Amino acid sequence: MKVLVVGSGGREHALCWAIAASPLCDALYCAPGNAGIAADAECVTIGAEDFDGLVAFAREKSIDFVVVGPEAPLVAGLVDRMTESGIKAFGPTEAAAALEGSKGFAKDLCAKYDIPTAAYRRFAELEAAKTYIREQGAPIVVKADGLAAGKGVTVARSVDEALAAAEDALSGRAFGESGAEIVVEEFLEGEEISVFALCDGKAALMLAAAQDHKAAFDGDKGPNTGGMGAYSPCPAMTDALAAEIEEKFVRRTVAAMKAEGRPFIGILFVGLMITAAGPKLIEYNVRFGDPECQVLLLRLRSDLLPALVAACDGILDSFDLRWYDEVALSVAMASKGYPGPYQNGTEIRGIEAAEADGRVKVFHAGTARGADGRLLATGGRVLSVTALGDSVADAQRRAYAAIDKIDWPGGFCRRDIGWRAIAREK
Ligand code: AMP
Ligand code: GLY
């Protein structure tokens, strides 16, 4: 098979690394990719948003299978475009990607199909939103309806903060069109878990669960980011909880989407809060998480590629995936300043030394080669240093030992990824 992966982050590096290892893969391309992905795939300089360019390239190379990594091209309909052009592509259609593309759509689906989630109201009118926020009081959560690069959610500790967030979104200032409508919802308290399932429109195959650290700094402090680290499995996930989540969230959502005429094919990422009243949905995503994908794929024993193809072909019920029992833990190394402004082009050395431990893999998230071959940082999150271990503590130790061999004065990382799970192990 000739395969094209679309995207350029740590998630796409992990996807390329896993797909390149498949005996079914004869040729692998990544658009646009990065310097690390270039070791596993031939990178082509076509952006993930350039649908005409991607379709033309897939035709020219007779690509058999396209795997779309990030949410933006999925929500904008890249899989539909590929399918219309006769090219098999993995991921939800535009209609099914509304689960992530419109928080209002997702919340209404939960209400209609009895999927537990925070109480909410949708608003397009500022005055009505303000009245509701004042009635409900704080803490309260304000969310832009559409995609906002992970910045559309305000967990407001005060009514004033919530009012300001509603005004910023609905005025169009903060998120443009994505904020033209908002969801205002109940604040949920508890531990967050991310659950992943591979779906073929009718059936769902549960993948491993993971937990990530969204805050930029140690102790889960500081601004929210795309994710500073993750681990899998999560000790908070018991067998009983896993069974409840599969039934109430994954199976119900797949059945609901089928009933709505928007069958969901792809990776369903269910973000949950484990509250005192049981698990409740925080949000859906329609793709692998980043960095959750890196930890999941390091733990995957089976060949990923035939599973993705089976999901596309609607024959997942005959499929099973096997996992290593080991723990995987990933630490994001980011450019100093991230998630605020940061400098691009700082040099990174020592990746080979970091990978000398055979249980460590350094996935690249934002790197490029300079003209002289030096490895340069080209993004906020730059490396995803991922290790397998016998426990969360062991995986954490290996990940940080690897990081200490990386020579990158322009970067930083959190030093406490996995702390909650390690406290449970003790
Ligand atoms: P998102 O940007 O959609 O991934 O959401 C960012 C984060 O906001 C989530 O990971 C949660 O930590 C938090 N969050 C979202 N909704 C709620 C809620 N209803 N209650 C408490 N925290 C929330
Ligand atoms: N790490 C969270 C996400 O990918 O959305």
- What is the distance in A from the centroid of ligand 1 to the CA of 120? 13
Candidate CATH numbers 3.30.1490.20, 3.40.390.10, 1.20.120.400, 3.40.50.2000; the one for domain 125-180: 3.30.1490.20
- pLDDT by residue (tens digit) across 164-223? 888 888 887 778 778 778 889 999 999 999 999 999 999 999 999 999 999 999 999 998
Residue nearest to atom 15 of ligand 1 (CA): 282
Residue nearest to atom 5 of ligand 2 (CA): 289
Residue 165 neighbours by CB distance under 10 Å: 26
Q: What is the pLDDT of residue 424?
A: 86
**292 Cα nearest atom in ligand 2:** 1
Residue nearest to atom 11 of ligand 1 (CA): 282
Mutate to test the pocket of ligand 1, among 107, 141, 155 (most ligand atoms within 8 A of CB): 155
- Regarding the beta carbon of 153 and ligand 1, being less than 6 Å apart is answered yes
Give the Å distances, CA to CA, from 88 to 58, 128, 234, 313: 10, 45, 34, 9
Phi and psi (nearest 5°) for 181? Answer: -130, 150
Residues shown for the chain:
426
**293 Cα nearest atom in ligand 2:** 4
- Regarding the beta carbon of 419 and ligand 1, being less than 6 Å apart is answered no
What burial letters (b/e) apply to 244-270, b meaning 16+ CB within 10 Å?
A: ebbebbbbbbbebbeebebbbbbbbbb
**289 Cα nearest atom in ligand 2:** 4
Distance between CA 255 and CA 264 in Å, rounded?
9
- What is the distance in A from the centroid of ligand 1 to the CA of 214? 10
Q: What is the pLDDT of residue 186?
A: 96
**Do the first three CATH levels of 125-180 and 191-318 match, i.e. the same topology?**
no
Place of tokens 């130790």: 397
The tens-digit pLDDT sequence of the chain (426 residues) is 999 999 999 999 999 999 999 999 999 999 999 999 999 999 999 999 999 999 999 999 999 999 999 999 999 999 999 999 999 999 999 999 999 999 999 999 999 999 999 999 988 888 888 899 999 988 999 998 888 876 788 888 999 988 988 888 888 777 877 877 888 999 999 999 999 999 999 999 999 999 999 999 999 999 888 899 999 999 889 999 999 999 999 999 999 999 999 999 999 999 999 999 999 999 999 999 999 999 999 999 999 999 999 999 999 998 899 999 999 999 999 999 999 999 999 999 999 999 999 999 999 999 999 999 999 999 999 999 999 999 999 999 999 999 999 999 999 999 999 999 999 887
Q: Where are the domains of the chain?
A: 2-93, 125-180, 191-318, 327-425
Residue nearest to atom 3 of ligand 2 (CA): 289
- Regarding the beta carbon of 212 and ligand 2, being less than 6 Å apart is answered yes
Place of tokens 């052009």: 85
- Regarding the beta carbon of 185 and ligand 2, being less than 6 Å apart is answered no
- What is the distance in A from the centroid of ligand 1 to the CA of 153? 6
Mutate to test the pocket of ligand 2, among 15, 192, 224, 292 (most ligand atoms within 8 A of CB): 292
Architecture of domain 327-425: Alpha-Beta Complex (3.90)
Mutate to test the pocket of ligand 1, among 153, 184, 272 (most ligand atoms within 8 A of CB): 153
- What is the distance in A from the centroid of ligand 1 to the CA of 124? 20
Distance between CA 202 and CA 216 in Å, rounded?
38
Q: Which of 58, 64, 69 is nearest to 91 (CA)?
A: 69
- Regarding the beta carbon of 71 and ligand 2, being less than 6 Å apart is answered no
The bound ligand whose nearest atom lies closest to the alpha carbon of 215 is 1
Topology (CATH) of 191-318: D-amino Acid Aminotransferase; Chain A, domain 1 (3.30.470)
Q: What is the pLDDT of residue 293?
A: 97
- Statement: 2-93 belongs to CATH 3.40.50.20: yes
- What is the distance in A from the centroid of ligand 2 to the CA of 314? 26
**283 Cα nearest atom in ligand 1:** 3
pTM: 0.95
